[in-house]
Copies of this chain bind each other. A is one copy, B any other.
């Protein structure tokens, strides 16, 4: 029997960088998914291995369950209903298991993801032979929450067959977890994220778990129900960036110009709050859908100006902005900046021809274009055949 889970990516709609300095930020799920399938080996198969296939990055791993047990059983798991951090000792033991697999040097940045897999698998399911296959529509390392979607979809499959969650295994098609089960799932996914990122904010896994829109400030997350179907063009500039260095450069600018930057962060805070209220408010209220979209575009354009004021834009981002603006579509960077991804709202009444034209033009610059709805569902699972 096979179980599948799919978990969405995330984008930051407003407030990146400023959130580090106390402003509100707004994130949304992005309806491109990471799909994880899990199949436990039956006794009759006589296959005593744990296999991990990461299709979209072309990596395959296989361990004998005996070897894993030998290396990790002294750590005390499984912990199932008590999400537990991977200790330094556990990190060391797991790293040894990953190294044994002759990890290709060029993809060494993905090794922590494999460590997260081993920790989540053994902590939740112990030492059972199985095959896990992961595919994803989300580019890796582009700030779209691919690692969180990986941890969330993986955890969703691992928890599905445990007694800690209640699911109707006979239901057909995609199925949502209950709220309290989602809390457990989210905590486990966060433990995976910690292995991958060190000190993640917890935002990415929360968005991927619960979906929809999340407002966050000083570590507090507020779930928001979107009342606007919103479609976004996400353009990946493919320019790699150093998030830590960018965050540090904003902090240094803030030290040099504390008063001005504090006002800039205040402006971002107001923009985030206005943007989340707009998305939350029923449509139509005072404003028609088109008017709300125009407001959103204006807020995104304003936020982009403030990000430029913080010094985190990049020539590649400016190229995207200029290109979409030719079609009267304002854009903003999303995430760390300095490259990475750019967000363009696609109004509901925008013709497909325009979308095709702008996409073609962006792709001719060497960028990757992704179009998807935002603010959709979080993680879902499917027993047996998925739809």
Interface segment, one of A4-12, A112-120, A199-207, A251-259: A251-259
Interface segment, one of A44-52, A85-93, A298-306, A365-373: A298-306
Question: Out of B260, B269, B318, B325, which one reaches A271, CB within 8 Å?
Answer: B260
Is A140's CB within 8 Å of the partner chain B? Answer: no
A301-B305 in contact (CB<8A) = no
Interface centre among A260, A263, A264, A321 (most CB of B within 10 A): A260
A270-B298 in contact (CB<8A) = no
B315-A267 in contact (CB<8A) = no
Tell me the count of chain A residues lying within 8 A, CB to CB, of chain B: 33
The 6 closest A-B pairs by CB, nearest first: A305-B309, A305-B308, A263-B267, A260-B270, A263-B266, A259-B270
Per-residue CB contact flags for chain A residues 179-215 toward chain B (1 = under 8 Å, else 0) read 0000000000000000000000000000000000000
Interface centre among A270, A311, A315 (most CB of B within 10 A): A270
Interface centre among A271, A305, A321, A322 (most CB of B within 10 A): A305
**CA A222 – CA B343 in complex, angstroms?**
43
Is A320's CB within 8 Å of the partner chain B? Answer: no
B308-A304 in contact (CB<8A) = yes
Give A309's nearest chain B residue, CB to CB. B305
Is A295's CB within 8 Å of the partner chain B? Answer: yes
Question: Out of B267, B310, B325, which one reaches A260, CB within 8 Å?
Answer: B267
> Which A residues between 318 and 374 are near B, CB-CB below 8 angstroms?
318, 321-322, 325
Number of copies: 2
**CA A267 – CA B269 in complex, angstroms?**
14
Question: Out of B253, B257, B301, B311, which one reaches A274, CB within 8 Å?
Answer: B257
- A233 → chain B, closest Cβ, in Å? 20
Give A307's nearest chain B residue, CB to CB. B305
> Which A residues between 214 and 242 are near B, CB-CB below 8 angstroms?
none
> Which A residues between 266 and 321 are near B, CB-CB below 8 angstroms?
266-267, 269-271, 274, 295, 298-299, 301-311, 315, 318, 321
B267-A298 in contact (CB<8A) = no
Question: Out of B253, B264, B295, which one reaches A298, CB within 8 Å?
Answer: B253
Q: Besides A264-B267, A264-B302, A318-B321, 5 other CB < 8 A contacts?
A: A257-B299, A260-B274, A261-B267, A263-B264, A301-B308
Using a CB–CB cutoff of 8 Å, the interface residues on chain A facing chain B are: 253, 256-257, 259-261, 263-264, 266-267, 269-271, 274, 295, 298-299, 301-311, 315, 318, 321-322, 325
**CA A308 – CA B263 in complex, angstroms?**
16
List 9 A-B pairs, Cβ < 8 Å. A257-B270, A259-B274, A263-B264, A263-B266, A264-B264, A267-B267, A301-B309, A305-B307, A318-B318
Q: Collect the chain B residues with CB atoms within 8 Å of residue A302's CB.
A: 253, 257, 260, 264, 309, 311
Q: Collect the chain B residues with CB atoms within 8 Å of residue A321's CB.
A: 318
A257-B298, A263-B264, A264-B263 given as contacts; is B322 within 8 A of A315 (CB)?
yes
Q: Collect the chain B residues with CB atoms within 8 Å of residue A309's CB.
A: 267, 301-306, 309
Q: Collect the chain B residues with CB atoms within 8 Å of residue A270's CB.
A: 257, 259-260, 263
Question: Out of B264, B271, B315, which one reaches A257, CB within 8 Å?
Answer: B271
A298-B256 in contact (CB<8A) = yes
- A13 → chain B, closest Cβ, in Å? 15
- A326 → chain B, closest Cβ, in Å? 8
Q: Collect the chain B residues with CB atoms within 8 Å of residue A303's CB.
A: 309
Q: Collect the chain B residues with CB atoms within 8 Å of residue A311's CB.
A: 298, 301-302
